[in-house]
Amino acid sequence: MELTAELPPFFVWDAELAGLGAYLDWLERRGVKELLWTPEPAGFREVEEAMAGRGLSLTAVLPNMSLYARDAMDAGPTGAVLKRFKALGPLSLAELGLRLLPRTPALLEKRFAAGIMLLADAEFLRLKSLPIGRVALHNSAVDMALALGCRELLTEFADWARARSVEGVVLTCNAWLWDQRMKEWGGPSPGIEVRPTGPGMWSEYRPVTPEARLAAWKKRAAS
Amino acid sequence: MIKVGIVGMGKMGLTHAAMLEVLSPGCIVGVVEAGRGNHGTIKSLGLRAPVYSDLESLLSAHALDAALVCTPTFTHFSIVKTLIERGVAVLIEKPLAENLEKCAALAKLASEKKAITAVGYSIDFDPLFTEARRLLPALGKIKRYTAWVEHAEVFGPKKGWLFQKEKSGGGVVINPAPHMLFYLLEAFGAPKSVRARLNNPYSAGVEDEAEVALEHDGFAGTLSASWSVPNKPVLELSLYVEGDKGSLAVNGDEILIEEGGKVRSIRREDLPAEQVFELSPQARAANYYREDRDFLEHARRRTAPRNSIENTLKVDRLIDAIYRAGASGQAVSWS
Q: pLDDT-based confidence at A196, cuts 50/70/90?
A: low
What is the pLDDT at residue B252?
92
A185 contacts in chain B (CB < 8 Å) = none
How would you classify the pairing of strands B117-120 and B89-93?
A: parallel
Instruction: Name the more confident of A2 and B47.
Output: B47
Q: Give me the percent of chain B exceeding a pLDDT of 90.
A: 94
What is the pLDDT at residue B3?
98
The structure's pTM equals 0.94
Q: pLDDT-based confidence at B173, cuts 50/70/90?
A: very high
A211 contacts in chain B (CB < 8 Å) = 263
What is the pLDDT at residue B335?
64
Is B121 exposed, middle or buried (CB count within 10 Å of its CB: 0-12, 13-18, 19+)? buried
What is the pLDDT at residue A129?
85
Tens of pLDDT, residues B50-70: 999 999 999 999 999 999 999
What is the pLDDT at residue A86?
86
Instruction: Name the more confident of A70 and B99.
Output: B99
What is the pLDDT at residue A80?
83
Query: How far does the CA of residue A8 sit from the closest CA of chain B (Å)?
Result: 11
Asked if residue B51 lies in contact with residue B25, where contact means CB atoms within 8 angstroms, the answer is no
Residue B18 scores a pLDDT above 60: yes
What is the pLDDT at residue A8?
87
Q: pLDDT-based confidence at B16, cuts 50/70/90?
A: very high
For residue B18, give the chain A residue with the closest CA: A147
Residue A88 scores a pLDDT above 90: no
Helix (H, G, I), strand (E, B) or coil at A149: coil
Asked if residue B88 lies in contact with residue B145, where contact means CB atoms within 8 angstroms, the answer is no
Contact A147 B281 (CB under 8 A): no
Strand partners, B225: B149, B210
Contact A66 B37 (CB under 8 A): no
How would you classify the pairing of strands B220-226 and B209-215?
A: antiparallel
Residue A2 scores a pLDDT above 80: no
Give the number of C-alpha atoms closer than 13 A to the C-alpha of residue A70, restricted to the C-beta side: 17
Contact A11 B11 (CB under 8 A): no
Q: Give me the percent of chain B exceeding a pLDDT of 70.
A: 100
Answer whether CATH 3.30.360.10 is correct for domain B124-281+315-333: yes
For residue B152, give the chain A residue with the closest CA: A70
Write down the mean pLDDT value for chain B: 96
What gap in Å lies between CA A202 and CA A11, rounded to an integer?
A: 13
B238 contacts in chain A (CB < 8 Å) = 217
Strand partners, A132: A58
- Residues in chain A whose beta carbon is closer than 8 A to a beta carbon of chain B? 9, 11, 65-66, 69-70, 73-74, 109-115, 139-140, 143-145, 147-152, 173-174, 176-177, 197, 209-211, 213-214, 217-218, 220-221
Query: How far does the CA of residue A53 sit from the closest CA of chain B (Å)?
Result: 30
Q: pLDDT-based confidence at B171, cuts 50/70/90?
A: very high
Chain A interface, mutation test: which of B12, B39, B41, most A Cβ atoms within 10 Å?
B41
Residue B153 scores a pLDDT above 80: yes
Query: How far does the CA of residue A78 sit from the closest CA of chain B (Å)?
Result: 12
Helix (H, G, I), strand (E, B) or coil at A37: strand
Over residues B292-321, the mean pLDDT reads 97
For residue A141, give the chain B residue with the closest CA: B279
Tens of pLDDT, residues A159-171: 999 999 999 999 9
The segment(s) of chain B belonging to CATH 3.40.50.720 are 4-120+290-306
What is the pLDDT at residue B105?
98
The segment(s) of chain B belonging to CATH 3.30.360.10 are 124-281+315-333
Helix (H, G, I), strand (E, B) or coil at B118: strand
How would you classify the pairing of strands A32-37 and A3-6?
A: parallel
Contact B279 A210 (CB under 8 A): no
Which residues have C-beta within 8 Å of that of residue A179, sequence separation ≥ 6? none
What is the pLDDT at residue B155?
95
Contact A143 B19 (CB under 8 A): no
Over residues A1-21, the mean pLDDT reads 80
Is B260 exposed, middle or buried (CB count within 10 Å of its CB: 0-12, 13-18, 19+)? exposed
Chain B interface, mutation test: which of A140, A153, A155, most B Cβ atoms within 10 Å?
A140
Phi, psi angle pair for B52, to nearest 5°: -110, 160
Provide DSSP, B218-235: S-EEEEEEESB-TT--S-
Over residues B199-213, the mean pLDDT reads 97
Chain B interface, mutation test: which of A78, A217, A219, most B Cβ atoms within 10 Å?
A217
Task: Enumerate the domain spans of chain A.
Answer: 3-222
Query: How far does the CA of residue B169 sit from the closest CA of chain A (Å)?
Result: 18
What is the pLDDT at residue A67?
87
Phi, psi angle pair for A188, to nearest 5°: -75, 165
What is the pLDDT at residue B176?
96
Looking at mean pLDDT, say which of A78-92, B258-272, B288-302 comes out highest: B288-302
What is the pLDDT at residue B145?
98
Answer whether CATH 3.40.50.720 is correct for domain B4-120+290-306: yes
Spatial strand order of the sheet with B28-32 comes to B51-52, B28-32, B4-7, B66-69, B89-93, B117-120
Q: Give me the percent of chain A exceeding a pLDDT of 70.
A: 94
Is A53 exposed, middle or buried (CB count within 10 Å of its CB: 0-12, 13-18, 19+)? exposed
Contact B22 A66 (CB under 8 A): no
Provide DSSP, A100-122: HGGGHHHHHTT-HHHHHHHHHHH
Q: pLDDT-based confidence at A192, cuts 50/70/90?
A: low
Residue B274 scores a pLDDT above 70: yes
A113 contacts in chain B (CB < 8 Å) = 44
Query: How far does the CA of residue A173 sit from the closest CA of chain B (Å)?
Result: 6
Phi, psi angle pair for B154, to nearest 5°: -125, 115
Strand partners, A40: none
For residue A176, give the chain B residue with the closest CA: B275
- Residues in chain B whose beta carbon is closer than 8 A to a beta carbon of chain A? 11, 14, 17-19, 21-22, 37-38, 40-41, 44-48, 144, 146, 153, 158, 230-231, 233-234, 238, 240, 242, 247, 249, 254, 256, 258, 263-265, 275, 277-282
Cβ burial A77-100 (10 Å sphere, 16+ → b, else e): beebbebbeeebeeebeeebeebb
Contact B265 A113 (CB under 8 A): no
Instruction: Name the more confident of A204 and B33.
Output: B33
Residue A100 scores a pLDDT above 90: no
Cβ burial B215-245 (10 Å sphere, 16+ → b, else e): bbeebbbbbbbbbbbeebbbbbbbbbbbbee
Instruction: Name the more confident of B260 and B27.
Output: B27
Q: pLDDT-based confidence at A1, cuts 50/70/90?
A: low
Contact A150 B258 (CB under 8 A): no
Tens of pLDDT, residues B107-144: 999 999 999 999 999 999 999 999 999 999 999 999 99
Chain B interface, mutation test: which of A10, A110, A178, A223, most B Cβ atoms within 10 Å?
A110
Rg (CA), chain B: 20
Q: pLDDT-based confidence at B305, cuts 50/70/90?
A: very high
Contact A74 B40 (CB under 8 A): no
Tens of pLDDT, residues B238-270: 999 999 999 999 999 999 999 888 999 999 989
